[in-house]
Each structure stands twice: as structure tokens, then as C-alpha cells.
Amino acid sequence: MAVSGAKPAGAADETSAAQAVQRMFDSIAPRYDLLNHLLSANIDRLWWNRTARRFRPILARPDAAILDICCGTGDMTMALLKQRPRGARPVLAADFARGMLSRGARKFGQRKPGEACAIALEADALHLPLRSASLDLIVTAFGFRNLSNYEAGLREFQRVLKPGGQLGILDFSEPGGLLGKAYAVYFRRVLPRIGRLICGKDGPYNYLPTSVDSFPPPAEMLALMRSVGYQECAWQPYTFGIAGLYTAKRPE
């Protein structure tokens, strides 16, 4: 099985790929939320909330240790917080793009006293500054696809998960059939143009469809997760397969 990762234009190796992704997301951070909601017609909000509900039993435990990695501007984190009880242990929201993370931190700071809260953490998903076997749940939404090495990311997540801890990876996929063909036209031709008009940058929204093209399809991704040692690996398609949620557990 080939091990792969994100390959932004001009990146020669994993280090340069990670640096390119970091620079790219820092550069679009000011318009990121606007573009996301516009380009997805707000369907992305449904995906975040559905993902959070999938992990409601863990989120309902006040002492559960939870990480939203590659949290971006924090929308997935906010969806997780809706499922947390008052006074619960804070959710860790981590990203290595400071421009994105700072916007997430502003959202977290708007929580009312007593409500479940989040702590922003600047961190690389492949080198987490966390103790081994310390987390009950790791969730990542539309960020895993941008890692420079998918297998290394899965192994690092497994390292910090407790035995029996759960993993959720929400990311794009490519639907089949006529819908898939129509969506491909939008995704590859229309979306980059809209992104360029609003963001004023050409690269980031050309990179998006390219990154989805190179991301392993569900069967390959599930095989990779199993090869790393995860159990109960599954994929649930969202909105006809435009996106989907991978779930798995670290063995007990």
C-alpha cells in the first residue's frame, strides 16, 4: 500500500509540503469562513453538527479529554462544544496555521461563563505536544487531507489516544454517478474562480480540488487505518458522498 500525503504545487518533500500548506492557510485566514459557507451553501455546518452528534456519548462525559486537530477557525470545535455539558473539561483545539487558529480563539472567547469552553493550541498534527494515551477522542474536519503524511498522522493520533479512544476524520470525497460528474465541474472549475474573486489569490482554491483528487478513496483510507492498527474502521457518506466521516477506535 502506497503511503501518501498532501502535495501542494512546488513541494519537493514532506517538510516543504507542510510549510506550503501552513503558508497557504495563513494567507486565506481572513476570508476563510466566508468562503467556506458560501462555496458549500452552508452545508458544511450540517456536516460539523452531524459529526459532533456521532460522538455524543463521549462528549457528554464531563471529564473526557478531547482534541480537535487541524481545527482551522474553530467551527468543528464549536459544534463539539454544543454537545458538552456545562463545566466540562475544555476541548483542545489545535492547528499549526497561526492565522487560522487566532480566529478560532476569538470564537472560543465568546463562550458564556459556565459553558463548555475550548483552549487554542498551536501544534503540528504530526508532532503533538501531548502525552501518550491521554485522549478519549480526536476529531478533525477537512484538515487531515492536508497532512504531508497520512500514515504518520494516523500513527500520531493513535499514540495520544487512550486504549479504546475514538477517532473521527471528516473530509471531502468524490461522489459517483451523474451527481459526481456535475459536482466535479463545480469543484474543479467554478469553485476556484469564486475563491480567486473573493480571496484575491489563485493558489489556495486551485489546491482544494487537487488535494481531494489525491486523497485516498474510502476503501483505501479504511485499509490504511486498519494497517496502522485501528479497529472498527468505518466510513459514513454525507450529502451523497460529497463528504464523509471516517471513524475508528484504538484497540483496548
- Residue 155 belongs to a domain with what CATH number? 3.40.50.150
Range of the domain at 52: 14-249
On whether residue 2 sits in a domain, the answer given is: no
Residue located via cell numbers 516543504: 16
On whether residue 70 sits in a domain, the answer given is: yes
pTM given for the model = 0.92
Give pLDDT, residue 198. 67
Residue located via cell numbers 488535494: 211
To 10 degrees, what angle do helices 14-28 and 203-214 make?
A: 130
Phi, psi (degrees; rounded to nearest 5) at 247: -130, 150
Give pLDDT, residue 203. 62
On whether residue 5 sits in a domain, the answer given is: no
Tens digit of each residue's pLDDT, the chain (252 residues): 555 888 877 788 899 989 988 988 888 787 778 777 766 778 889 999 999 999 999 999 999 999 999 999 999 999 999 999 999 999 999 999 999 999 999 999 888 888 999 999 999 999 999 999 999 999 999 999 999 999 999 999 999 999 999 999 999 888 877 777 777 777 777 777 877 776 666 666 677 778 888 899 999 999 999 999 999 999 999 998 989 999 999 999
- Measure the CA–CA gap between 89 and 231, rounded to whole angstroms: 26
Give pLDDT, residue 204. 67
- Measure the CA–CA gap between 31 and 86, rounded to whole angstroms: 31
On whether residue 7 sits in a domain, the answer given is: no
Give pLDDT, residue 12. 82
On whether residue 88 sits in a domain, the answer given is: yes
On whether residue 3 sits in a domain, the answer given is: no
Count of domains in the chain?
1
On whether residue 4 sits in a domain, the answer given is: no
220's grid cell:
483505501
On whether residue 99 sits in a domain, the answer given is: yes
3-state secondary structure of 234: strand
